[in-house]
Each structure stands twice: as structure tokens, then as C-alpha cells.
Amino acid sequence: MKSSRGITLLEMMVTLAIAAVLLAAALVGMQSPINRQRENEATRELWASTLRARQLSISTNQPVRIVVEENVPRGDGTTRTVARWEHLRCDNDWDNASCPAAGCENTTCRTNPECCAGEQAMGQDIVIPTTMNAAALHGLCYMPGSGRPVRPGDLGCMRDSIDDPVALDAAAPGNLRIDFTSGRARSLIMVEPRTGLASILDCSSQAAIDHPVAECTQ
């Protein structure tokens, strides 16, 4: 009678190693679609936030800006990059040329809540995935009453140039880039320079192929 042969330690180690490799490959394959979904959601939320900011700037006759902040503590103990809109407080109630209030030109409402016009004057945090860079939206501001968009390079919302059309034209935001380190093609939030209405263009889309935009390749 032939006796059965048991598995050796070496064979067991080889089997476990192969299983580990297969499991790691499966996890990587699962993570890629998850990351892509998070990038999609954050991009769409940023676009929706610009529309909300524009609407508020018109209805309240006060400027509303977008801020992108790094290393913001989260409830789970981590720190992340987040974005949100901020409805700004003015120095007085009768002159929207006094917005934002003095001292708030380069200070976010997270740093100084008094810079915002009340507790409900800030949007929900949009968590930016680690594979995504949305810094180009930081400082995008919608002017009071008109909703005209500017991105002056700081958080001042053109406070001292509200009636200067040449300066406002020069500060038009154009097409704001969202970049990814995941291998995904760039996306653009395209802001119309006078009305402030925004749209999204994914640079790998058929629309971008049919109608090339410089910011997709530069």
C-alpha cells in the first residue's frame, strides 16, 4: 500500500508566497477604480461649489471665494487637503467695496471665523484625494452683486479694484487646472470671464479631442 505524502515546509512557503502576490495584485486592481471614483466625486463637488459661490455672491451682494487648505485635521485623526466656499464679511453693511473685512484679505475663515458672514457662511469641506491637486482654485472669488469671477493671486477678492474693469479683466481666472498623479488626464474647470458660469472639461474626453484647449496640453 502506497503511503500518502504530506506537504513540506518549503512547499507551504512557496504556496503562501504565490497567494500573497495574487492577493496584492487583486487589491491593486480594486484600488484603482476606487481612486478614480474619489477623483470624479471631488472634481464634481468642486465644480458644484463654484456654482454655489457664484449664486451666493449675487443674492447676498457680498463676495464669495473658494479656498483650498492643506493639513486640515479630520475627525478620523488624519490631516487632509480640503476645499470649500467662504461667504465673506464686509467692514460695513452699506458698501460692498469694503469686502472682505480688513485683515481677512489673506486669512481663511478656518483661521479666523470672524472673516465669514456668520456660522452658515462656509460650505462643507470637500476632501481632495491624495492623487489630486486642486490648488489652482484657491482664491477664486465671485464679485458682489454681479457674480463676476476673479482670481487675483491672493484671497483679497479685488477689494480695492471692484470698480476697475481693466483690473477685473486682468484677474479673470480662465481655465483652472486639476491635476492627478494617478495617471488620469488633467481636468479643467472652465470659468466664463464675465458671467462666472463654470463647466468641467476632462482632457481625455471626446469633447477635448474635438475642440482642443491649450490648458489640456501645457
Give the neighbor-by-neighbor strand order of the sheet with 79-87: 126-127, 79-87, 64-73, 141-142, 149-150
Give the other-Cβ count within 10 Å of 121's Cβ: 19
Per-residue pLDDT of 149-204, as tens digits, reads 999 888 989 888 888 889 999 999 999 999 999 889 999 999 999 999 999 999 99
The whole model's pTM is what?
0.82
CA distances in angstroms from 91 to 49, 98, 137, 140, listed in the order given: 25, 5, 25, 21
Per-residue pLDDT of 11-68, as tens digits, reads 677 777 777 776 666 555 555 777 888 999 999 999 999 999 999 999 988 899 999 9
Burial class (CB in 10 A: 0-12, 13-18, 19+), 172: middle
CA distances in angstroms from 151 to 136, 138, 175, 188, listed in the order given: 9, 8, 11, 15
Classify 189 as helix, strand or coil. strand
Per-residue pLDDT of 57-112, as tens digits, reads 999 888 999 999 999 998 888 999 999 999 998 888 777 778 888 888 889 999 99
